[in-house]
Structure 1
Amino acid sequence: MKPDRKSKLYVHLLFWILYYILEVYLDFYWSRYQFPATGWQTRLQNTIVLEFGYLLIKMPLAYALLYVYETTGLKKFLTYILYCFIMVAAVLTHRFFTHYIIYPHIYGVTETLDGKQPSGFINGLVAFNSFMDLIFMAGLIFGVEITRQKNLLKEQISLLKSEKLDQELTMLKAQINPHFLFNTLNNIYGMALKKADETPDVILQLSKVMRYNIYEAAERYISIDKDVENIKDFLQIQQIRHHDLVIRFKEDIDQPSQEISPLILIQFVENAFKHGVSETLGQSFIHIDMKLNNGVLHYHIENSKEEKPHGNSTKIGLKNIRRQLELLYPKHSLTAESTNDRYIVNLIIDFNDSSRF
C-alpha cells in the first residue's frame, strides 16, 4: 500500500472510531433524561446499535462530499448535482431510520416534537435537524481530510527541499576537498624539491587531515571540537613549511559537542594561506580567535598579505563557503575587510537559530 493511502486509512479509521465513541457518549447521556425509567445497560445497548445505524448513513455522504471536492472541470459540476440528490436521499434515510425504526422498535415510543405532539415522517424541524446532523459530520471528515492532505504536502515539500539542499552541499564539498588537497600537495611538492627534512612529517600530518576530509566531512554535522582539531592539524602543516610564520590561535568554547557542518571553518584558514600568507614576502602571520558562548560562534581570522599580490587567485573556496552558509545558516553574519597589509574575516553563527534539515 502506498504511504499516502496508508496514512489516509489510518487517519480516517481513527476519525470514525473517535466520532462513533463521541456520538455514543452524547446519545447515551441524552437518553438518561429522555428515558429515565430504562436501565443504563439497556440504554447503552440501544445507543450502540442506533449510532452504528446512523454511521452507515453518514459515511457514504461524507465520502461523496470528498469525491466532489477532488473532481475537476465539467465533472465537478455534475458531481455537485449528484451530491444534492445524495444529500436528499441521506436526509430521507435518516428520517426513516429515526421515525420508523429507532423510536418505535428501540425506544418503544412514538417520535414527538416536544414530548407530547407526535412528529410525522416529513416535518420541517426534524428534517432540518437531520440535515444539520449529516452536514456537520460531513464537514468534520472533510476538514480532517483537507488537513491531512495539507500536512502531507508540507512534508513532501520539506523532503524535496532537504534532498535538494543535501545534493547541493554534497556537490560543494566535492569541489572543496580537491581544492584543499591540491593546495597542500603543492606545498609538499615545493618542500620535496628542496629536500626538506620536514617532508615526511608533513605527509604524515596531511594523511591525518585527509582522513578527516574523507570520513568526518562526509557527515552532515560533526562536533565543533573535531573541526577545531582539524584546523590545528592544518596549521601544523603550514608551520613546518613556513618557518617564519607567526601563528596565534585562541579558542574559548563552552560546549565542545556543539554540532557544525564540516569544512566550513577550515576554508577561511585555507584561503588565508592560499591568497595571503603564502604571498607575503616579509614575515607572515595568521591570527585566529574562536569563541563559542551560549550557542553563538564568533570566528575571527586576520592574516598578512601583500599590498599588490601577484598571481591569479581563484576564489572557488570562498564562493562555496558562502553558499554553504546561506543554505545551513541563513541568518549568519560574514564580513571581510582588506587593508594594505592584512585581510580580516569575521563570521558569526547563531546555532540557536540555524537551518537543520
Structure 2
Amino acid sequence: MKPDRKSKLYVHLLFWVLYYVLEVYLDFYWSRYQFPDTEWQIRLQHTIILEIGYLLIKMLMAYALLYVYEKSRIRKWYAFMLYFSIITLAVLAHRFFTHYIIYPHIYGMVETLDGKELSGYINGLVAFNSFMDLIFLAGLIFGVEITRQKNVLKEQYSKLKSEKLDQELTMLKAQINPHFLFNTLNNIYGMALKKADETPDAILQLSKVMRYNIYEAAERYISIDKDVENIRDFLQIQQIRHHDLVIRFNEDIDHLSQEISPLILIQFVENAFKHGVSETLGKSFIHIDIKLHNGVLHYYIENSKEEKPHGNSTKIGLKNIRRQLELLYPKHILTVESTNDRYIVTLIINLNDPSRF
C-alpha cells in the first residue's frame, strides 16, 4: 500500500471511530429525555444500532462528496450540481431511515416532534435538522482530508528538498576532491623531480587525506576531531613542500565528538594555499585558530599573499564554500578580508543550530 493511501486509511479510520463514539454518547444522552421510562441498557442498545445505520449513510455521502472534490477536471457548475444531488439523497435516506425504520422497528412508535405528528411544516423542520447534521459532518470530513493532504504534501516537499540538497552537496563535494588531489599530486611530483627525501612521507600523508576524502567525507556529519586531524595531515604535506612556511595551528575544542559537516573547514585552508601561500614570493605564513565551546565554532585563518595577486579565481572557490554553508548552516557568519599582504577569514557556526538541514 502506498504511504499516502496508508496515511489516509489510518486518519479516516480514527476519524470515524471518534465520530461514532461521540454520536453514540450524544444520542444516548438525548434519549433519556425522550424515553425517560426506558431502561438505560435498552436505550444504549438502541443507540448503538441506530448510529451504525446513520454512520453508513454519512460515510456514503462523505466519500461521494470527496470523490467529486478530488476529480479536479469536473467543471465547477457540474460539481456543484453533484454536491447538491448527493446531499439531497443523503437527507432523504437519513429521513427514510429515521421515519420508517428507527421509530417503528426499534422504538416501536410513530415519529413525533414535541408530541405532535409530523405535518408538512414539522416534517420540513425535521428534514432541515437532518440537512444541518449532514452538512456539519461534510465540513468535518473535508477539514480532516484537506489537512491530511496538506501534511502529506508538506512531508513530500520536505523530503524532495532534502534530496535536492543532498544532490547539490554531493556535486559540490565532487568539485573539491579532484581539485585537491591534482594540486597535491603536482606538489609531490615537484618533490620527486628534486628527489627530495620527504617524498615518501608526503605520499603517506596524501594517502591519509585521500582516505578521509573518500570514506569519511561521504557522511553527512562526522566528529570534529576527524575533521581537524585531516587539516593537520594537509598542513604536513604543505610543510614538506614549503620549507620556509610558518604554520601556527591552535585548537581549543571542548567536545571532540561534536558533529560537523566534512570538507567545510579544509576548503578554507586549501584556498589559503592556492591563492595565497603558494603565490607568496617572500616568507609565507598561515595561522589557523579553531575554537569550539558549547557547540559554537569559531574558525580563524590568516595567510600571506602577494600585494598584487594575479587573477580572481579565488572567488570561484569561495562561491562553492559559501553555497555549502548556506545549505548546511543557514545562520553562519562568514567574513573574508583582503589586505595588501594577507587574507583573513573568520567563520562562526552554531553546530547545534536546529535550523541546520
TM over 0.5: yes
What is the CA deviation profile of residues 92-120 of structure 1, one whole-angstrom value per residue up to 9, with x for unaligned ones? 22112222222232233443323x33334
Mapping of residues 213-228 of structure 1, within 5 Å: 213-228=213-228
Q: Deviations over 1:128-154 (max 9, x none)?
A: 211111111111111111111111111
Q: CA deviation at 1:79?
A: 3.0
Residue equivalent to 2:23? 23
Matched length: 356
Aligned-pair identity (%): 85
CA contact (8 A) 1:179 1:317 kept: no
Shift of 1:70: 2.3
Q: Letter of the aligned partner of 2:107 in structure 1?
A: Y
* Matched AA of 1:181: L
> Deviation of residue 22 (structure 1)?
1.8
With over 3 angstroms needed to count, the CA separation of the structure-2 counterparts of 1:250 and 1:62, relative to structure 1, is same
Aligned pairs for 1:1-357 (under 5 A) are 1-72=1-72, 75-114=75-114, 116-120=115-119, 123-309=123-309, 313=313, 315-353=315-353, 355-357=355-357
Shift of 1:206: 1.0
TM-score by length of structure 1 reads: 0.92
Residue type matched to 1:309 in 2? P
Counterparts of 2:40 and 2:262, CA distance in 1: 68
Would you say the 8 A contact 2:307–2:341 is kept in 1? yes
Aligned partner of 2:344: which letter? Answer: I
- Structure 2 gap segments, 5+ residues each: none
Q: CA deviation at 1:195?
A: 1.3
Separation in structure 1 between the aligned mates of residue 9 and residue 335 of structure 2, nearest angstrom: 53
Q: What code does the residue aligned with 2:116 have? A: Q
Partner secondary structure for residue 249 of structure 2: strand
SS in structure 2 of the partner of residue 239 of structure 1? helix
Q: Secondary structure at the match of 2:111?
A: coil
Q: Given that residues 224 and 256 in structure 1 are in contact (C-alpha distance below 8 angstroms), is that contact kept between their aligned partners in structure 2? A: yes
Match of 1:353, SS state, is: coil
Change (3 A) 1:310 1:242: same
SS in 2 for 1:156: helix
Amino acid at match of 2:302: E
The answer to whether the 8 Å contact 2:65/2:86 transfers is no
CA RMSD after TM alignment: 2.1
Distance 1:312 1:6, change over 3 A: closer
Contact 1:249–1:287, Cα closer than 8 Å, also in 2: yes
- 3-state secondary structure, aligned to 2:20: helix
AA aligned opposite 2:138: A
Which letter maps to 2:80? Y
CA contact (8 A) 2:304 2:341 kept: yes
Distance 2:116 2:159 in 1: 61
Moved more, 298-307 or 61-70: 61-70
Paired residues of 1:68 and 1:76 also in contact (CA < 8 A): no
Q: Following the alignment from structure 2 to structure 1, what is the Cα–Cα distance between the partners of residues 86 and 217?
A: 62
1:160 partner letter: L
CA contact (8 A) 1:329 1:354 kept: no
How much does 1:294 deviate? 2.7
Equivalent-residue separation in structure 1 for 2:227 and 2:310 (angstroms): 31
Deviation at 1:356, TM superposition (A): 4.2
> Shift of residue 209 of structure 1?
0.8
Distance 1:311 1:18, change over 3 A: closer
The residue identity in structure 1 corresponding to 2:235 is: L
- Greater Cα offset, 127-136 or 6-15: 6-15
1:43-74, Cα deviation, whole Å (9 max, x unpaired): 22211110000011111211222123223456
> Counterpart of 1:28 in 2: which secondary structure?
helix
- Opposite residue 153 of structure 2, the aligned amino acid is L
Quick one: structure 1 residues 182 and 124, their matched pair in 2 at CA, closer, same or farther if it must change by over 3 Å? Answer: same
> Which amino acid in structure 2 is aligned with residue 170 of structure 1?
T
